[in-house]
Structure formats: C-alpha cells, structure tokens
Amino acid sequence: MSSSINNSTLTDQLEQMLKSFVQEKLELIMREELENFLNVENPDVPNSKNGYYQRSLDTRYGKIEKLSVPRDRQGEFQTQLFAPYQRRDGWLEEAIIKMYQSGMSTREVGKFIERMFGSSYSATTISNITEVAIEDIQAWQQRKLHQRYSVLYLDGMYIRLRRDTVANEVIYFVVGVTEDGYRELLSFYVGGQENALGWKEMLQDLYQRGLKEVLLGVFDGLPGLEEAFKSIYPKADVQRCVVHKVRNTLNRVRKKDREEIAEDLKAIYRSFTRSQAEEQFHLFQEKWQTKYPREVSSWENDLPVLLTFLKYPSSIRSVIYTTNWIERTIKEIRKRLRPMNSLPDIKAAEKIVYLTVQDINEKWSERKLRGFASAYTCLQDMFKERYEK
C-alpha cells in the first residue's frame, strides 16, 4: 500500500514539474514576442509593456491554471501561441479528429476526453469539432484534376449505414495513376447500391473536373460498367480484373478440379504475348469444354477484356491486370470503419473515409507505382496516338 502511494505521489510530482517547465517556456516565448513586437516590428510607435494578466490553458501536458500573459499599453499585442479566447493549444481538436478517424464513435471520444480532463464533451460537441472535415470534403470533391491519367481503377465496398433503419450501402472509389506513375485516390461517393449508373455519374464528374484522357480502366465484371466507362472515355481500353474472374470460375467448379483448373488459367494470363495467351486458352478449352461448358464459354466471351493488359509494357502488367492492390487499400479504409457497427449517417461515413483517404494519398505521393517509370515513354506514345491525332 505504501509503495502504491509513493508511486502515485512521485507521478504527481513529475506531472507538476513538467507543467511548470512548460509554463515557464511558454511565458518566456511570450515575453520575447512582446519585446520583438515593441522594438523590432513597431519601433516608432509610442507604446510600452504593461504588466501581465493571468489565464488558464489546456495543453497536452495538463492544464496550466495561472499562465502569465504579457500585455502592452496600447492593447495591440497578441501572442502567436494561441488566440485571445482560446482555452486549448489546438492539440485536443487534432486528437479528437484522429480518434474519430480511427473509428471511435463520437460518444466513445467524448468519454475518453472526459476521463482526461474531467469535463464532459457531448457527442454533439465532438461531431461539431469533426465538422471541419465537411468543408474540406466539399473542396476536395470539387478540386481540379490532371488532364491525363494512365490508368483508372474502379472498386467499391459496402458499409452498414443508418437511414431510419440500418442497411448495407456502397462506397464507390476511383484511383488514378498519373502520367508519372503516382497513385491518387481521386474521388469517393457514399450511398445506394452499386450499379453502372452510379459509376457513370462518378466518371462524368471526374471528366467535368478536367480528367479528359485515360489509357486504361481496370475493374471487375459488374453488368453495364464497361459500357458506362466507354461512354465517358471511348478511347480508353478496358481491363477486366483477371483475379476476380479466376476466383468466380473456381467457385463454380468441382473442388477436386480447382487446383488443376487454376494452373491452366494461370498459363493463360501469365503468357508474355497475346498469341501465346490465346494458344493457352485453346488448350484450356479443349481440356475442359465437355465438363464445364458454361465456364469455358464465359472465358471465351470475356477473353478480349481479360487480355488487354498484354498491350501494355511488361513492367506494369502485374499491377494492371487486377484490382487486388486497390482492394488492399479498401481493406485499410474498412478497418477504420469496422469499430462502428453501423454509421449514424452519410456525413459520418464521409468524414471518416475522407480523413483516411488524405493519409493514403499523402503516403502514395512519396513513391511511384512499380514499373511506371520504365514504361513512361511507351505510355506517352500511346497518349499521343489516341489523343493528339
């Protein structure tokens, strides 16, 4: 018991020492600010120091009850450390937004802040603090885009969203790869059930915001999506996700045949040229036509959009024949949303997704997508051939 009390006392003493140190440094900075304000910024203005006033300030190191703030006789000096009526140094709002972004509900954030400071932060207050993201979302959704993107990836995910009742609704995502090979999450849209019309509206919005030229669109086999994409970008190629196609095929065949069929399909999409891939398909067709006529016919019908990637430089083929890597990105976004069993409204979903997207885009801006640097010249030639004639 004595040891526990001693540890508690020591912790309190350390906290008090830290707060005193922070207070001392803040007051030193403000005195230097006032000195600079009077003698450097305004040397010819009749003015002078006029003592101090005391105020409280919540900092990440604890609450400073009596912070001495210097003042001038003219009342014109204002420290840059905080605004006149600001009671916190700004870190708390940032922490609240980060906690909200990580998937904590507004009530959970409020309880956490209450445990830290002993004062109540209602769910409404937390929501108002995170509301700063709404204006940012609107500006981001309306920003101008580059004219050219080598590749557009389209994919979606479902979330549980409350509108009177709770139901699954889609979030549409579009990722672009710039001419220089950098990935960028271009846009997202929350709501409804995934369909070709929803994708077409998103693509029209991108076009109106300046994205006029695309070489390749990569997505799965949603009915009508190819036609919707080509209606906006008629000169672009379409690549159906090979991995989705393989997965769907294996789900429809007997378990004992799956491994063998997977190897035969791999021989098709691992071919180096279009003619080699077609030759491997004919072998697959001869072998499995009798046993699985519907699956073989489906591959035959889709083969043109499954092999599009073979038109492109070999250095980028591994990242353009599938939407796998964008699915991994969506999993990251899903993790942020998972702690909430259902989102209270669209605004809550948009705020969390937007904040996560900004983190992802910042990370992507630092590194080119694999293979695009060596493919740059070839891709530029393809742009010229399609869009500069």
Domain range annotation of the chain? 1-80, 146-387
What are 218's strand-pairing partners? Answer: 153, 239
Q: How far, in Å, CA of 214 to CA of 147, rounded?
A: 9
Q: Based on the number of CB atoms within 10 Å of its own CB, is 118 exposed (0-12), middle (13-18) or buried (19 or more)?
A: exposed
Q: Encode pLDDT of 87-124 as tens digits.
A: 554 555 556 666 655 556 666 666 666 665 555 556 56
Instruction: Give the separation between CA 211 and CA 151, rounded to whole angstroms.
Output: 11
Average pLDDT of the segment spanning 215-240:
94
Report pLDDT digits (tens) over 330-339.
Answer: 888 887 776 5
CA pair distance 126, 105, nearest whole angstrom: 9
Using the structure block, give the residue that is written with the tokens 């994919």. Answer: 155
Answer yes or no: are the C-beta atoms of 219 and 153 closer than 8 Å.
yes
Q: What is the pLDDT of residues 125-179, one digit of tens each?
A: 656 655 666 777 888 889 999 999 999 999 998 888 777 787 888 889 999 999 9
pTM of the predicted protein model: 0.70
Residue 348: pLDDT over 80: no
